[in-house]
Amino acid sequence: MKWGIERSQLLTRMSELPACGGLIRRQYDNFLRLNYEMNWRWLRNPASRRSFRKMPPKLNTLQKRLVEELYATGVAACHFDELFQDQEMWRSLSAQVSEFSSSDEVQSVVRKRQQDFGEKQDVRAVEH
């Protein structure tokens, strides 16, 4: 399974059996999904779910298209101008990002990370 969830040794051994390994893996993955749904949707966050159900967001056609793309492929893209018609907002955001990224504090962290990266000897390391 993904996201750092590891199967027990017994389950791992059982999932390697040629006849029923695939079935065991699928059933365990279904169990994890159900456990997640029960835990987060119903047990840990019921007030937020009720509130969302009472007042769902009103989406325009572009937002609906983006949500559908996210559900279908996991990725959605659009041009900034489609999402925000206010050009001044883009200029303001761009200026803030430029100011932040060119600050001495950020640049010193970038230089430190580049130096750490350059000092790594193992080219197969995660950082590389």
Encoded amino acid at 43, one letter: L
Q: How distant, in Å, are the alpha carbons of 49, 81, 88, 124 from that of 45? A: 6, 35, 37, 41
Contact 60, 84 (CB under 8 A): no
CA angle (20 as vertex; 25, 34 as ends), nearest 5: 30
pLDDT in tens, 50-81: 888 899 989 999 999 999 999 899 899 998 88
Give the pLDDT band of residue 2 (cuts 50, 70, 90).
Answer: very low
Q: Is the pTM of this model over 0.95?
A: no
CA neighbor of 77 nearest in space, from 87, 61, 62: 62
Judge contact between 48 and 56, C-beta under 8 A. Answer: no
Per-residue pLDDT tens for 80-120?
A: 888 877 888 888 988 999 999 999 999 999 999 888 877 77
- What is the Cα–Cα distance from 21 to 27, expressed in whole angstroms? 10
Express each pLDDT in 80-90 by its tens digit.
Answer: 888 877 888 88
